[in-house]
A and B are shown apart, each in its own frame.
Chain A
Amino acid sequence: MGPVSDTAEPAESAEPIFQFDSLLQPEVSKCPWPYYKRMRDTNPVLRAGGDGSEVVFIAKHEDIDYVLHNPKLFSSNGDQGQQMAPLIPISFDPPVHSKWRRLLDPFFSPREMAKLEADITLQANELIDRFIDRGECDYADEYAVPLPCSVFLKIMGLPLEDLDAFVNLKDRLLRGTGESFQSQDEVQKQAHEELDARLEALLNERRRQPQDDLLTQLLHSEIDGRPLTQEELVSASNLLFIAGLDTVTDSLTCFYSFLGIHQEHRQRIVDDPEVIPRAIEEMLRYESPVTMVLPRQVTEETELGGCPLHQGDRIIPLLGSANNDERVIDDPEVVDFDRPSFRHYAFGAGVHRCLGSHLARLELRVSLREWHRRIPEYHIPEGTELQWASLLRQVEHLPLVFDRVE
């Protein structure tokens, strides 16, 4: 193993190993598996930050399965500790949630998404054109960030010239100053207001002049036999923005930091492009770039894995731990593109199963296909120290050197 390593052991630390802020540590984000495992083995239901805390992390596949499939007991509704308006559909429970999903699902069905394949292919290639002759690139800045953003602009009917402004807005919105994830900081609040204002202006524009885009379609949709209010329209588009950009960037940078080190996996994709859909599922499972779902609020006294839970407790299922739980999957630490089957939760599960999963899979598939067709051999330069962002696992700068281009 060269100097680029993703298998560092976590430092021996004092108990409890997993505090509320542990998830904010870059080294946990870089290499979360040993933390997950220790948590599953020693504290699978962990009240973070001592007895007083109402935040409870859960780590076992079985418990996470139970929580995600019991929205009555574990509600997505309510105060999430984030001083912001509820977002459609993620902050609602059934039956209201189901109504929103019935409205939104058809816009993101596999069949609808397939119509975007040609465009995404074009966009991926245009990005590659910009750096392929240089023989190297910053994969994050030059590919993984702009690709999902430009796909999103396309879906929303926004001009591509807005790309840089939107990337910047997205960064401020999701990461703020990056210091806390309990409450939003000023930067995030401002970014939220800015996004809302932009979306409102855009909606007004579409109202006057309909286009062939998602916003126009939403404007003409109905819920409970009436058109959506401006507030609802902004809320739904707002969430698409929050949920649909960084998540794909996270996944791409996780994948390429893995492939840039594990040459045999990279070569497999080059030799056998048919494996790509399975490679994506397996890397999503292993990497679990989105580490958690929205906290679920406990609605009545109950228990989980023998631990009492109180009304109002906020449960945080660690998806990456569920996806690497040796109780339900053989050799979770092995990345095996030929793994016959696994019910991974990288996109969540239950009623809130990721609305954009078919779009995400399409973007990832096209990305891997076009990249490896044109740049089959690449590696991370020796001595590179990768910087990992937390919560949403993302490599902030990912230098790649091309050894062979087509």
Chain B
Amino acid sequence: MSRLEIDQERCTGHGRCYSLAPSLFDSDEFGHAVLVPTHEINETDAWTAVQNCPEGAISFEP
């Protein structure tokens, strides 16, 4: 079972994740990231988000 997580302490709302991988991430009213409930985590999208988050707030274990 793969695991995708957002560290809310680190997230400051750059929005790279939900712009680049909208199937996995959405924005809350503050512009911070929330996970989109999904059964299938697209691995490429997950890694793209991890690698583009300027705060290193996203972790992914395939």
Contacts and interface: CB of A to CB of B under 8 A. Distances in A.
Interface in A334-366: 340-345, 347, 349-351, 353, 357-358
Interface stretch (A108-116, A213-221, A235-243): A108-116
A406 B50 CA distance: 40
Contact of A349 (B27, B52, B55): B55
Contacts of B14: 347, 349, 353, 357
Given A341-B52, A343-B56, 12 more contacts: A105-B31, A108-B31, A109-B28, A109-B29, A111-B27, A342-B52, A345-B54, A347-B14, A350-B12, A353-B13, A353-B14, A357-B15
B55 A110 contact: no
Interface string A93-124: 00000000110011011110000000000000
Contacts, number: 58
Contacts of A343: 16, 51-54, 56
Contacts of B53: 343
Contacts of B12: 349-351, 353
A357 B55 CA distance: 15
Nearest to B14: A353
B19 interface: yes
Interface size range of chain A in the complex: 20 to 34
Given A353-B12, A357-B14, A105 B52 contact: no
A86 interface: no
| Most A CB within 10 A of own CB, among B12, B52, B53 | B12
Contacts of B52: 341-343
A345 B14 CA distance: 10
B27 A106 contact: no
B18 to A, nearest CB: 7
Nearest to A352: B12
Contacts of B30: 101-102, 105-106, 109
A277 interface: yes
Nearest to B55: A349
20 contacts: A69-B55, A102-B30, A105-B31, A105-B32, A106-B29, A106-B30, A109-B13, A109-B28, A110-B15, A110-B31, A341-B52, A343-B53, A344-B54, A349-B54, A349-B55, A350-B12, A350-B55, A351-B12, A357-B14, A358-B31
